[in-house]
Structure 1
Amino acid sequence: MSTLKTLLTAICLSAGILQVSAQGINFEHDFNKALDLAKKENKMIFVDFYTSWCGPCKMMSAEVFPQKEAGDYFNKEFINLKVQCDDKGEGVELGKKYKINAYPTLAFLDKDGNTVHSTAGGLSVKALIELAKTATDPNKNQLAMVKEWDGGNRGHAFAARYFKTLIRSYRSEKANADFEKYFGTLNPAQKAAKNTFELMGIVKTGPFAPSFEYMEQHTGDFYKTIGKSKIDSTIANAYLWYFKGLQASGFSNKDMTAFNSKMKLFKAEKYPFYDEYAEFYAVFDSQDANGKDDINIYMQRGTEFLRKYGKKNDSYTLSLTSMLGNWTGRKNSGAAGIKWMEELLQRNNNPRYLNTYFYILWRNFNFDKAMEVAQLMKANAIKENSSTADIDKQIQMVKDLKEKYKNI
């Protein structure tokens, strides 16, 4: 009797588990099958492009897709498909085909497999459903916006919305190509207008792009409409982060050719901030006599650089500290970064900087202080009526690390 009761209980529990899992979104895992079903049922395809290592992807799969509200809506309206972009198979090729550059990318395809709408990043159930409603609205989705742009709508409000939508979807290549083509049609007064400058900021036009070079060559026109300090700082910051990205790419590919050749062109521009930027990039290239990366040289160079230039731009400290946090991973091995952040917070107690401070603290095994900072971050999130789910996970992570390394 007892054995039978146990068996029945197990069966009921299993049924309960199946019922819960069936409440959420039902996903296909084969692209061609999804296409066939979409044509057969005359539905759009919702695609979750994800990777095995992506944190927000895991959050969506664990906390959003299984919810009944999501299942009720998506199972009725769409054929749903999951595509793993690091599976070394079909998923990798599909990621390339659809130019997926960020994860998760949440895309909506028509029944022929053409992209209708997409965005990148984790969403709540409510936001996901709102995204789906936009995707199915022929007057609001990306495909409709592209058609309207191609049809000649160049009103500023629409143009700003169009480029913001592309950038949010990580379709920066199209955004930049469309903007540069548009910029080329403008007369000099229109090119230097406030509206055009706003669009340049949205698409993040940068060094060596035609529109950016035009601004450099006609700064006087832009000074009149935008202001000298704004234009000068825009040009300076654009070069700073353009080369930082180029340098990071060169390091990862072990090929600094593009970085070095562009730096030569940058030097020829004779900007007064060239030496400052060159010194900043040199910090990241800290190697010993044998050519091996040396964290102590990095910290020494970083400290010297911040002593000279740190007060000019908070991003210097944040960038150098973030890199140091990646590099360290034991008690106080990157302690200089803690000092850098504390000096920054003393002069500018910006709540947004706490993330970097928290990171460098726990990466140096300063778990108690990291917990204090995490609680501040959580309090700020509550004050702003934002979700605390992410910081709660980080707090638990630090607790687990503290227990794991309690004897160190």
Structure 2
Amino acid sequence: MKKLFVLVTILTMAYFCQAQELNIIEQDYKKALHIARKENKLIFIDFYTGWCAPCKKLDRLVFQNDSIQQLLGKEFVLLRYDAENDKVFNLSKKHHISSYPTAIILNPEGYVLTKQYGFQGEDFDRLSENVLKFTGQGIVAYREHNVLKGYANTIDISMYPQFYIDYVNRDNIKVTNTPEFKAYWKSSVNRTSEAYFSTLIYFGSDVPDFVADTTLLYKKDYLGLYGVTDTETLFYFLSAAKFGRAISAKNQEAFDQAEVYAKKALSKAWTDDIIPGFKVTFFKAQNRWDRVFDHYQQRKDRGQLSHENISFFCRDVYKNCEDPQVIAQCMDWMQEITAREPVYDYLDTYAFLAFKAGNREKSRKIAELALAAARKENRKTVKIEELLERL
């Protein structure tokens, strides 16, 4: 409530005291840059795609909001840029845009001030709060003359490898097994150049292990040139790729090496966040569902799992686990949840778990409750009806 009050106050003050129309430019980077230089404003680039639901929500709830437009108009030009329509201005290539929405703030000369991958929030209050926080960071960086030094304010497309250009342009999306792709990482290209860094972060999940290992030598350089956000994102991709290969091979030694690499490459906050998830995936690959359950039990005990989280995990157990003890423990969880919240999704999971456990009587009873809940909630009933037929 306090945050909402502060936000409303800010917006009201902006509207009456500093209101200014927001210039919104569609796709034309040169036009946005011309206006920014003429009016001494920053450029907020909103990278989106036509199929991106969070992008549409951000635009509808925030950028189309009159109060937000009035507030941003004083300091910014908004450039809405379709990231998959990049053959004219090449901004997606320059800024290695591969997730949406991504936001970048440039100073009036086109230098990068700050960058953010996505904005958290499901409603206007949370989304607008995060957008305003981001724009505030951009304003502070501009006033303190802090730019990301590795990014030039011009775009020389000839510096980028052709496979990268083709991929971003969607002219050829099958490049990672080509001779050109493989040769690029062994070439004598400048490892700290903007073009190399952008290509590396874009394909971080696909490069060979030796590239990831070599990249560690340049971590300090990358932090100084490209900032914390992009450097940590790069090393996340490289670490995740190592974990992924170890999991696919079910190789404990490779997994341990990936963990060591991640702890060298990433901050403790990052590794504390990502390593447990990779361990769970590795346990699943090894069919060690008792260890997977222990992980979720600990999270449940700490109050970190919602009913939806628990049901999703228990559905995974139904589909993939053959450990009778884990199945029985998940049934206990679903019994507890459905007693509190007897909705279709949870009853459905409970019924299928009981069926897998061989308890046909309980499965039938719960399935009938699930069917009634589905009809009440106007949900499709095909799967639960099929289960009842099998019973």
TM-score normalised by the chain length of structure 2? 0.42
* Greater RCO (CA < 8 Å, at least 6 residues apart): 2
TM-score normalised by the chain length of structure 1? 0.40
